[in-house]
Structure 1
């Protein structure tokens, strides 16, 4: 069901493997720059995969006082940094003139919570239990990034977190939109964060066969839709968007990047990690997203794809796009930021939403790098190697998570 009210994005903040703010990330993506490199977070010697998409040069002590730094995990620290940038970009002061703190919310999702802190605490438990921080439990639970952002900015409205694996970041925008349209909030900070580059995580994903083993060519390891793709590259990061009703944004003179027109969430009900090869769940999510937003397939100019660089996902996503968009599928531009940053897990969808909004703003679509030879049944225009100028009036964002969770959002020019 459509609403006549508009929800718009007025600010972005980002920390990614290619930049520690919104614009440096965007310019790196347009330039086709890869942020994949050998792991520095821990000694990866002996692991099948020794590369990752890490946020570089982030110093939490420059952001937080010593007490707050010690009590918080990295996924929360990244989220706070991204949220501060987002509200600054939106020229928004929570509790300031025209912005009631009780009418501001946070929807900040993640997929794996504080895995790094858990792994560290297990080591401490074996060595000396007394060294485990009294803030250990509160730092690693999944709602903490949202709560840390609320504490940092003085947000007193609805604050929530959901875990939808790799679909978490896109769903955050849809839930934020729902809070605004229901009248529970005027402004919502929405997005995703994750930081779980740990030895156990990499060993587990390697045992699953999910990760690329192209360790000798890190920058070429993530290759969505390419015939030689061999798995995804694990990454970390945080992206936060400021969403508000169009009326609220106009009343305070804020500029809007794009409208979050709506979307859909479906389930494959198929497997804990593999997508349904028929693509039925993805097809349903894409179709419902278009229907609910009143968007014709021929109106969509760009799809920011899930595009993980795994054999099954890229094939299934391509098939699903063809089924939903029909003949229009071959007129679409489709690209995957994961070719440059890897898979940011809970933050991946939020980054894709930012990419879609900035593509609308600037009239340019970032490339899919490392796409030398399209894989079997991957026959769409994936914008290989080089960014392309395009008049993007409507963009769809695809996100598909473990457990078969499919989330699609539609953004439109305002």
Structure 2
């Protein structure tokens, strides 16, 4: 069967460097760091005392206080980003066939703060099981798309993909295929995460995964730098409205980009470490190019997974060199996690949005905080270091890789 073309018609973002799409893009281009000392709890006894929290965000500016209390932060973030994307797409809710509009969302963990608080409350009590009646619906990862569909009456496919840091890229790829195959006209997709909590920070610290650069939080996320020492945890959400091209064209929608394809693979190697030879990463990028019907030399820009970990950054860049050969040196490669930190299940969504905006504006955001060369990284690669670069981006790729060896890759093209 002939696959339908899929386009992006709406964007929404809630990030540590901007609470709207426009603010997010301004933060990216200016090289703004979202890292700062944690304000949510006392960090005195924690190894890492900083993260990329949202700034100036009040949920009651967007959601009624009574309704907000029924949601964990990750679901609140999802709702805010989705609202912006749906408004941006200018969907006519009275005319769209809601049976053919779905919500496919990504979350690596879900309601971690809710789970943490309920356990702490129980442990601090007399043993009587007193739990919030919203404990379970606030915690479960699938509640984010459920809330979005309930608000808007979208009755198409509705679920959450969970593949650690690849979760929202998985969600986007599923959404792409749903529309490609003719099952839906429109899908709201993306991801959200709210893991800057006692349990989240404590757990990642126990794994020695986080940077401990407490003396200089704003420079701690430093992908590809020779002194990188781990990732910086972030929070927030990204949302995209995907639409059948003919459906979008018929209603006169603004089209940001065409969603050409995606790829999935598994390292099948280790619980947390990447395969040292990048086999799974090579496979996922090959899969993505094949799925999109493009050649390696067609790609202008890659937003890497680039978490600022000693092993992961090198493995990914070696895989890029393996796939793209000499053309790798002509690609603008970057890692926006240098600014936003690592949003876990929301990373794929906000980074896909970054490459879409790079195409729209002709600017590739920088990889900030680079000062020391890593001799294990090819010096001829253009890592877009420290300053944004102008570039006519026609085709852009975004990589996301998750604990457990989950790899996902998505690819977008400027609309003809």
Place the TM-score, normalised by the shorter chain, in its bin.
over 0.9
Partner of 1:409: 410
CA drift of 1:263 comes to 1.1
* CA pair 3-55 structure 1, distance change in 2 beyond 3 A: farther
Equivalent positions of 1:86-97 (< 5 A) are 86-94=85-93, 96-97=94-95
User: Which residue does the alignment assign to 2:68?
Assistant: 69
Matched, 1:172 2:171: yes
Aligned-pair CA distance for 1:383: 0.3
**2:410, 2:153 → 1: CA distance?**
28
Alpha-carbon distance in 2 for matches of 1:218, 1:17: 13
Corresponding residue number in structure 1 for 2:84: 85
8 A Cα contact 2:195 2:201, kept in partner = no
Within 2, Cα distance between the matches of 1:44 and 1:154? 42
User: Could you say which residue in structure 2 is the equivalent of 1:12?
Assistant: 11
Match of 1:389 in 2: 390
What SS does the corresponding residue of 1:77 show, helix, strand or coil? helix
**Which residue matches 2:375?**
376
Structure 1 position 337 matched with structure 2 position 369: no
Measured against aligned partners, the alpha-carbon deviations of 1:20-79 in whole angstroms (never above 9, x if no partner) come to 111100111100000100011111111110110111222122222233111111000000
Task: Check the 8 A contact 1:319/1:377 in 2, yes or no.
Answer: no
Aligned twin of 1:141: 140
- Residue 288 of structure 1: CA displacement? 1.3
Match in the other structure for 2:258? 259
Q: Which residue number in structure 2 is paired with residue 114 of structure 1?
A: 111
TM-superposed deviation, 1:204: 1.7
Identify which range, 339-348 or 170-179, moves more after superposition. 170-179
Tell me the distance in 2 between the aligned counterparts of 1:121 and 1:56.
Answer: 26
Name the residue aligned to 1:321.
320
Pick closer, same or farther for the CA change 1:5–1:278 going to 2, 3 Å: same
Matched with 1:217 is 216
- Note the alpha carbon deviations across 1:376-404, whole angstroms, 9 max, x for none: 33222110111010000000111111000
Say if 2:4 and 2:179, in contact at 8 Å, map to a contact too.
no
Match of 1:127 among 124, 128, 138: 124
Following TM superposition, the consecutive aligned residue runs of length 4 or more in structure 1 with deviations greater than 3 angstroms are 128-131
**Deviates most, 299-308 or 146-155:** 146-155
Q: CA deviation at 1:170?
A: 1.2
Cα 1:79/1:403, change in 2 over 3 Å? same
Give 1:159-308 correspondences, 5 Å limit: 159-308=158-307
Indicate conservation of the 8 Å contact 2:161/2:168, yes or no: no
Aligned 8 A contact 1:318 1:377 in 2: no
Shift of 1:130: 6.4
What's the CA shift for 1:3?
5.2
Aligned length: 411
Q: Give the unaligned 5+ runs of structure 2.
A: none
Deviation at 1:4, TM superposition (A): 4.6
Uncovered stretches (5+) of structure 1, i.e. residues with no partner: none
Write the distance in 2 (CA, Å) between the matches of 1:205 and 1:187: 36
Cross-structure match for 1:311: 310
How large is the RMSD of aligned CA atoms in angstroms?
Answer: 1.2
Spell out the pairing of 1:29-44 with structure 2 (5 A cutoff): 29-44=28-43
CA contact under 8 A between 1:49 and 1:206: conserved in structure 2?
yes
Partner SS state of residue 395, structure 1: strand
Cα offset, 1:93, TM superposition: 3.4
Change (3 A) 1:405 1:3: farther
Match of 1:357 in 2: 356
TM normalised by structure 1 equals 0.97
Q: TM-score, normalised by structure 2?
A: 0.97
SS class of match (1:171): helix
The alpha carbon displacement at 1:131 in A equals: 5.4
Cα deviation, residue 156, structure 1: 1.2
Partner of 2:69: helix, strand, or coil? helix
